[in-house]
Structure formats: structure tokens, C-alpha cells
């Protein structure tokens, strides 16, 4: 995780997995099996990862001068169950392009 984009990609994958766990396992356990603790802990972890994801989007926006359209795409991707995985492929391409050009780093 040396670059802002690689950090966003990594956090995005974790955030996406936590969202799928929340929707696919924790919510059914809460409503079908009466185990609310599953949502409590999975939801907490997902919330932390979501905040980290948004902070990472901000970092990439500032360091790579992302347009409003790219920022909106990243935000929408975080709200869709498989969105972060789709965005990851696009970010990988962008990261490969950025490796060829130096980018200012935020201190």
C-alpha cells in the first residue's frame, strides 16, 4: 500500500467484503435466527471500513486531482454490494498508468 490508489483498492476490497458479510450473513442471522449480535459486530466493522474508504477516496481525490464524476463513482461503488470489486479493476488500470508518471504526495 505505497500509493493512495493502492490504499483505496485495499480498503475497498475489505469494505466490499464486510458489506457482503453484513447483507448475506449477519442480516439473515438477525432476522431469521434471532441473533442480533451478528449485525452489531459486523455492522461496526463495516462502519469503520466505510469511514476509512471515504477518507481514502478523499486522499486519492487530492493527490490525483480526481473529477467529481470519479469521486461520485467511488462513492456509489461503496453503496452497491459488488461495487468495490468492479471499481477495483478500474483503479488497477489507473494505478498502472500513474506508475509511469510522478504524482504529488500529501504529507
Predicted confidence at residue 96, as pLDDT, reads: 81
Q: What's residue 102's pLDDT?
A: 62
Give dist(CA 14, CA 102) in Å, integer.
Answer: 27
pLDDT number for residue 85:
94
- The residues of the chain scoring below 70 in pLDDT are 1, 102-107
Check residue 2 and give its pLDDT.
Answer: 84
So what's the pLDDT on residue 1? 63
- Which pLDDT value is given to residue 107? 58
DSSP symbols for 90-103: HHHHHHHHHHHS--
- pLDDT, residue 12, reads 95
**Residues in the chain, total:** 107
Amino acid at each position: 500500500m505505497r500509493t493512495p490508489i493502492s490504499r483505496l483498492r485495499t480498503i475497498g476490497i475489505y469494505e466490499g467484503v464486510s458489506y457482503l458479510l453484513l447483507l448475506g450473513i449477519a442480516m439473515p442471522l438477525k432476522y431469521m435466527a434471532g441473533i442480533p449480535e451478528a449485525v452489531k459486530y459486523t455492522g461496526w466493522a463495516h462502519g469503520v471500513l466505510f469511514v476509512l474508504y471515504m477518507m481514502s477516496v478523499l486522499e486519492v481525490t487530492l493527490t490525483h486531482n480526481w473529477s467529481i464524476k470519479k469521486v461520485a463513482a467511488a462513492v456509489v461503488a461503496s453503496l452497491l454490494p459488488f461495487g468495490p470489486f468492479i471499481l477495483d479493476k478500474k483503479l488497477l488500470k489507473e494505478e498502472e498508468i500513474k506508475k509511469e508518471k510522478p504524482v504529488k504526495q500529501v504529507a
